[in-house]
């Protein structure tokens, strides 16, 4: 048994920690409550007439009124195609659409001509995969990791099969972080492309991008970064990271669905073939041949998602006003608190690294009294009955799930409008889940 002095010391420590958490929560609460006012959906009630608690932000985020209003304004006041007409509406639409490109460029520290608008991260990754066809020979290598989303493995499986290249994998340490020794072994002089996630959508791991870039560049390889989970949540500097490509989605960062981006180094994009051909991406066409437009329009064939692009620009304004360092800090504190609360539950298993190595994602499973897994779909269903929206399943990462010997996980993921009370409510319902299945 511990001594009275040790017990008292432990109590004092926990009191200090509780006070610290309370102070931080109060400081954040003021800004979070102001932010929540911009998201009408967060005030609605669902299912059994209970308040919505939205913890599925890694799948998609909610949209503030400012973004919705900007999109509506485009369609109601100056709806027109861009780069085609010389009338007032087309000129205004073109100006706003190009302004959105400039906002992305500034937000990620890239050049205007390096910013390609896409539908989503998946399209950006496929543009790079398509552009690599002419650069690969039989027995060349494409390197990805064991923690990939399907969007960062399937295009390269197809690319390897069609070119005769080999698909290789950087291993993980304890299914938490990338093993850099493995990276040094796997990446060789035959490696032509290394594609990694900046942050895992399952484990929450924030990967050491610069370390991987150093290894890849020593072998002359291009580097593609899947920024779907990082660009919305962390300060991301394209030029500083040293990667050749960065793909991201707008809908995961307050913008509408159907808009995203691929950032690519100008000299590399100039040498890449477009994925799509047709209008807008051409400079000269006759009956026998065509030449391609200047960057970034070379990769934006056809009528673009103008309203979505404008919405993305406003979403970036919104996040920039908060500050990405602040966004990351808020999520890091909430993630740490969540992992501490979940760790109080001896029937909950958390996957991934400690909170200091991850972003705002916590994947976990719940077990009954007999130590049997309660299927994540059942857990999610009961949480949903209490208004709590989470993700349950393989999270588009089936290979990782099989490697971990689990069928699926539950996942809570945070954004700028989530708070400590929502975590506390989730913990209470998880206790009910365990009791029900035991």
- Distance in angstroms (rounded) separating the CA atoms of residues 141 and 143: 6
Q: Are 237 and 108 in contact, with CB atoms under 8 Å apart?
A: yes
What CA–CA distances, in Å, run from 296 to 116, 247, 267, 270, 318?
A: 5, 14, 12, 9, 24
Active site residue 22: no
Reduced to 3 states, what is the DSSP secondary structure of residue 288?
coil
3-state secondary structure (DSSP) of residue 62: coil
Quick one: which of 148, 305, 137 has its CA closest to 224?
148
Q: Please state, in angstroms and rounded to a whole number, the distance separating the CA atoms of residues 180 and 208.
A: 9
CA angle 101, 103, 107 (to 5 degrees): 120
Alpha carbon of 246 to those of 58, 224, 386, 415, 437: distances in Å? 18, 6, 38, 21, 44
**Rounded (10°) CA dihedral 73, 74, 76, 77:** 90
Of the residues 158, 373, 396, 403, only one is catalytic, namely 396
Q: Which has the closest alpha carbon to 61: 400, 318, 305, 339?
A: 318
The token duo for 103 is 């906002």
Closest alpha carbon to 109 in 320, 311, 300? 320
Cα 353 to chain centroid distance, Å, stands at 17
Give the residue numbers marked as catalytic: 396
């Amino acid at each position: 048994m511990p001594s009275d002095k040790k017990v008292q010391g432990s109590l004092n420590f926990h009191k200090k920690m509780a006070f610290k958490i309370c102070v931080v929560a109060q400081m954040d609460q003021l800004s979070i409550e102001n932010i929540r006012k911009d998201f009408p959906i967060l005030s609605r009630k669902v299912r059994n007439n209970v308040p919505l608690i939205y913890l599925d932000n890694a799948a998609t985020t909610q949209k503030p009124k400012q973004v919705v209003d900007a999109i509506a304004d485009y369609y109601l006041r100056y709806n027109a195609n861009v780069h085609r007409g010389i009338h007032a509406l087309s000129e205004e639409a073109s100006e706003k659409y190009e302004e959105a490109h400039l906002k992305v460029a500034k937000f990620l520290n890239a050049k205007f001509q390096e910013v390609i608008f896409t539908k989503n991260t998946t399209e950006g990754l496929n543009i790079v995969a398509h552009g690599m066809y002419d650069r690969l020979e039989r027995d060349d290598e494409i390197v990805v990791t064991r923690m990939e989303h399907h969007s960062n493995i399937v295009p390269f499986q197809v690319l390897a099969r069609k070119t005769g290249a080999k698909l290789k994998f950087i291993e993980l340490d304890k299914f938490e972080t990338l093993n850099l020794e493995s990276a040094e072994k796997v990446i060789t002089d035959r490696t032509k492309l290394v594609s990694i996630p900046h942050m895992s959508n399952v484990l929450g791991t924030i990967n050491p991008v610069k370390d991987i870039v150093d290894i890849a560049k020593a072998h002359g390889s291009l580097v593609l970064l899947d920024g779907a989970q990082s660009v919305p949540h962390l300060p991301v500097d394209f030029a500083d990271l040293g990667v050749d490509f960065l793909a991201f989605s707008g809908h995961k960062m307050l913008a509408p669905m159907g808009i995203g981006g691929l950032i690519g180094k100008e000299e590399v994009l100039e040498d890449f073939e477009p994925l799509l051909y047709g209008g807008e991406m051409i400079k000269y066409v006759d009956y026998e041949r065509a030449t391609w437009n200047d960057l970034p329009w070379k990769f934006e064939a056809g009528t673009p998602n103008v309203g979505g692009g404008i919405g993305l620009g406003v979403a970036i304004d919104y996040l920039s006003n908060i500050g990405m360092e602040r966004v990351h800090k808020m999520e890091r504190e909430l993630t740490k608190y969540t992992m501490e609360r979940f760790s109080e539950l001896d029937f909950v298993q958390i996957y991934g690294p400690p909170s200091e190595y991850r972003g705002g994602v916590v994947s976990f499973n719940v077990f009954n009294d007999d130590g049997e897994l309660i299927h994540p779909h059942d857990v999610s269903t009961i949480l949903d009955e209490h208004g709590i929206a989470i993700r349950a399943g393989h999270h588009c990462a089936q290979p990782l799930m099989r490697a971990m010997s689990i069928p699926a996980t539950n996942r809570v993921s945070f954004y700028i409008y989530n708070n400590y009370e929502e975590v506390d409510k989730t913990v209470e319902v998880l206790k009910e889940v365990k009791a029900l299945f035991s």
